[in-house]
Amino acid sequence: MEAVQFPFPYLQSKIQTSKTQYRNSMSALPQTATTTTTTIITTTPILTSLSSRNNSLRKLSRSNQPENALTMFVKLRMEGLDVDRFSFPPLLKAAARVKGLFEGMQLHGLGAKLGFDLDPFLQTGLVGMYAACGRIGDARLMFDKMSHRDVVTWSIMFDGYCQSGHFDDVLKLFEEMRRSNVEPDKMVFSKILSACARSGNISYGKVIHEFIVDNNVVMDAHLQTALITMYASSGYLDMAKDLFDNMWPKDMVVSTAMICSYSRAGRIEDARMIFDQMVEKDLVSWSAMISGYAESDRPQEALKLFNEMQVLKMKPDQVSMLSVISACAHLGALDKAQWIHLYVDKYGFGGELRVNNAIIDMYAKCGSLERAREVFDKMQRRNVISWTSMINSFAVHGDASNALAFFCKMKEEDIEPNGVTFVGVLYACSHAGLVEEGRKIFSSMINEHNITPKHEHYGCMVDLFGRANLLREALEVIETMPLAPNVVIWGSLMAACWVHCEIELGEFAAKQLLKLEPDHDGALVVLSNIYAKERRWQDVGELRNSMKRRGIAKERGSSRIEMKNEVHEFLIADRNHKQADQIYEKLDEVVSELKRVGYAPNTHCVLVDVEEDEKQEVVLWHSEKLALCYGLMSGPNDSCIRIVKNLRVCEDCHTFIKLVSKVYWREIIVRDRTRFHRYKDGVCSCKDYW
């Protein structure tokens, strides 16, 4: 048979280069060496049998270097050796695995030229190759041209749609399959259930489940995993659990899926129970549990689990490191943040862009804007997330000037800001009272950057006007925005009205919020406080009794402080700490010292019908004051005290901490629910605008 000219450009180039290098190396060797080497090369056995050549192509296509199958094919064609229809499936498989679209198309052309274009094995290989290379339309065209399609061909087409994210097409294709004479197998059902899970079409998934049961399809581990994962990821945890409990042995993949689903649903204890019951755990399982703790406001457990992972000599991957960094950021413990940063560099994650972006956020949330800036400055490569992380860091620390400067510099370096970037810049303006700058930036987002505002952008504008006591303008934003206001937007207006004593509008905002979320504890508490401020004690009593009947409790204030690599947590009027007596003695001493410089407890925030002395006790026993006193008595006199508070710092605590920073000559950094306060020499970085 006449040899067909068929060079793959990049493979042909590699072969020619290797030949040139070989000839050059031969000329540099002594004659004896040249003779010996030449003998080895020329006596290498040539695969003369077509079946043996095809067998070699199959082995190479399944190996860790499938491109070698293509290289071998080029060499065979250059030697003029024949191929048949069985040569093409492994070659197309190799092209699919290396995403070699050009090579796959050349194989398609050659197959047609040799008369194999109607061969079902070649056609099936082409469907898989085009799908793997992202040409799902071409894959479907080839699929539709096939006169004979077996279950393998259907499965490959299903897989192509799944990989391309065309999940609705998977379901349509299954309807076509049901009309054909081909019976789906367990792998096909698994792919369809996966598509149902990823497209959120749980109703269709239930139909498939019923079909499987009604037709007595034997469930293997793959099919059980697909069903459990579909129900779990769609929030049908009871159905997932029933299937999971009846599965034996428990598959590691499905156990991990259950951990993720329980974590997302806030059932972290159930997730941990499954994790502890797992006989074998891989890195994905550990990462899922660490991530579950990190995202469930349990950062200390996440870090503890990471330490257990280290004891077992398990090296984390980037995903698990990102969860650990997130947990540390949430915890706000700087010493732990520094240790994690050292770990990241030691084990080779320091060059990863996503990791560096996360470390910027971690340092900022742990109160060290300086270290966040150092990481940013050392980065060899930055993207929009890097710049946005830095802008957000400045914003939450009240450094609006640097946030705006970085925003300008970002645009100068042709980094296009995204919607999250604008949230950070608007937040900075809001917390610094920069109303006009905020207006201009909001306008530029729409008119210059063609970004359609979302709820969070309108929320920032409501917050901007609300903090500046421009409450009517804040209400106008809500009334004119094209989106229905959500809980956060009404909450921003409600909080601003409370701060600026706009009782009527505040009550209106609280009631609007409660229409959207009737059990919102924050809105119910503010509404109760509004009634209390107007001394409407009957309304206060009715509202609080209603909350008690419905099991709604105000979120308790808590504060964390890290001392000697250990995190200590305090609640209001907390007596559980092992040094509680000494802490309260220190508090009495501090209050006495502050009263000498004019401090008087501000009881306006205590809106309960009790005597003034009792109100003062309530104010003085706030959790951040207890954490602060523990810091004063435990740390070095020249050290910075860092506190993390879960709620907004009240007016009295804000004044109290400012005075402590002056009287005791200490720098104090407090992270509350929305921002950082850096107290030094009696002044706060928020400039009393928070």
The string of pLDDT tens digits covering residues 339-355 is 999 999 999 998 899 99
The pLDDT tens digits of the residues spanning 149-165 come to 999 999 999 999 988 98
Going by pLDDT thresholds of 50, 70 and 90, the confidence category of residue 34 is very low
Q: Which one, of 502, 418, 491, 492, lies nearest residue 461 by Cα? A: 492
Tell me: pLDDT of 29 over 90.
Answer: no
Do 658 and 649 touch, CB atoms closer than 8 A? no
pLDDT digits (tens, 9 = 90+) for 629-638: 999 999 888 8
Q: How far apart are CA 265 and CA 1, in angstroms?
A: 66
Tens of pLDDT, residues 367-399: 999 999 999 999 999 999 999 999 999 999 999
With contact defined as beta carbons under 8 Å apart, do 299 and 284 qualify?
Answer: no
Return the pLDDT at 289. 95
**Tokens standing for 38?**
């030449």
CA distance 689 to 315: 45
CB 462 within 8 A of CB 474: yes
Composition of the chain by helix, strand, coil, percent to 5: 65, 5, 30
Could you report the per-residue pLDDT of 486-533, keeping only the tens digit for each? 999 999 999 999 889 898 999 999 999 999 999 998 889 888 888 887
Whether the per-residue pLDDT at 219 is higher than 90: the answer is: no
The mean per-residue pLDDT over the stretch 193-216 comes to 89
Q: Are 592 and 366 in contact (CB under 8 A)?
A: no
> How far is 508 from 684, CA to CA, in rounded Å?
33
* Residue 522 backbone dihedrals phi, psi, to 5 degrees: -65, -45
Q: Are strands 668-671 and 641-645 parallel, antiparallel or unpaired?
A: parallel
Which residues touch 14 (CB under 8 Å, ≥6 apart)? 71
The pLDDT score that the predictor gives to residue 331 is: 87
* Residue 279 exposed, middle or buried by CB count within 10 Å (0-12, 13-18, 19+): exposed
Q: Bridge partners of 389?
A: none
Read off the pLDDT of residues 551-600 as tens digits, 9 standing for 90 and up: 888 888 899 998 887 889 999 999 999 999 999 999 999 999 999 999 99
> Is the pLDDT score of 32 beyond 80?
no
Alpha-carbon distance 514 to 111, whole Å? 68
Question: Please, which pLDDT band fits residue 253 given cuts at 50, 70 and 90?
Answer: confident
pLDDT digits (tens, 9 = 90+) for 125-136: 999 999 999 999
pLDDT at 23: 44
Order of strands across the sheet that contains 668-671: 566-571, 558-563, 641-645, 668-671, 676-680, 683-684
Mean pLDDT of the chain: 88
Give the pLDDT mean for 464-481: 96
Contacts of 431 (CB under 8 A, 6+ apart): 395, 398, 400, 467, 674, 675, 686, 689, 690
C-alpha 333, offset from chain centre:
21
CA–CA dist 456, 293 (Å, integer):
26
The per-residue pLDDT for range 505-516, each reduced to its tens digit, is 999 999 999 999
What contacts 662, CB < 8 A, 6 or more positions away? 597, 681, 682
CB 318 within 8 A of CB 352: yes
Alpha-carbon gap, residue 58 to 362, rounded angstroms: 49
Local confidence band at 466 (pLDDT 50, 70, 90 cut-offs): very high
Q: How many CB atoms lie within 10 A of CB 19?
A: 10
Most confident region among 27-41, 166-180, 252-266, 657-671 by mean pLDDT = 657-671
Q: Which residue has the tokens 């899926």?
A: 257
Distances 385 to 358, 371, 392, 438 between C-alpha atoms, Å:
9, 17, 10, 21
Least confident stretch, 40-44, 272-276, 647-651: 40-44
Mean pLDDT computed over 397-424: 95
Whole-number pLDDT of residue 77:
86
Reported as type and span, the H/E element at residue 363 is: helix 353-365
pLDDT for position 536: 86
Q: What is the DSSP string of 101-155?
A: HHHHHHHHHHHHHTT-TT-HHHHHHHHHHHHHTT-HHHHHHHHHH-S---HHHHH
Closest Cα partner for 74 from 5, 1, 2, 133?
A: 5
Angle at 423 between CA 418 and CA 425, to 5 degrees: 95
- Backbone phi, psi, residue 669, to 5°: -120, 125
pLDDT of residue 15: 41
* pLDDT bracket for residue 427 (50, 70, 90): very high
Q: Alpha-carbon distance 333 to 495, whole Å? A: 29
Read off φ and ψ for residue 646, nearest 5 degrees.
-80, -15
pLDDT tens digits, 274-328: 999 999 999 999 999 999 999 888 999 999 999 999 999 998 989 889 999 999 9
Cα angle 620-328-313, degrees, rounded to a multiple of 5 = 140
* Predicted TM-score (pTM) of this structure: 0.74
Strands 566-571 and 668-671 turn out to be unpaired
Structure tokens at 313: 């000599």
pLDDT category of residue 27 using cuts at 50, 70 and 90: very low
* Model confidence at 110: pLDDT above 50: yes
Residue 30 scores a pLDDT above 50: no
Residue 130 · residue 104 · CB < 8 Å: yes
Q: Give the per-residue pLDDT at 535.
A: 82
In DSSP terms, 644 is beta-bridged to 560, 671
What is the mean predicted confidence (pLDDT) over 183-209? Answer: 89
Q: According to the model, what pLDDT value does residue 36 have?
A: 32
What's the half-sphere exposure (Cβ side, CA atoms, 13 Å) at 364? 25
Provide the 8-state DSSP code for 560.
Answer: E
Instruction: Convert the pLDDT of each residue in 601-629 to its tens digit.
Output: 887 665 555 455 666 777 899 999 999 99
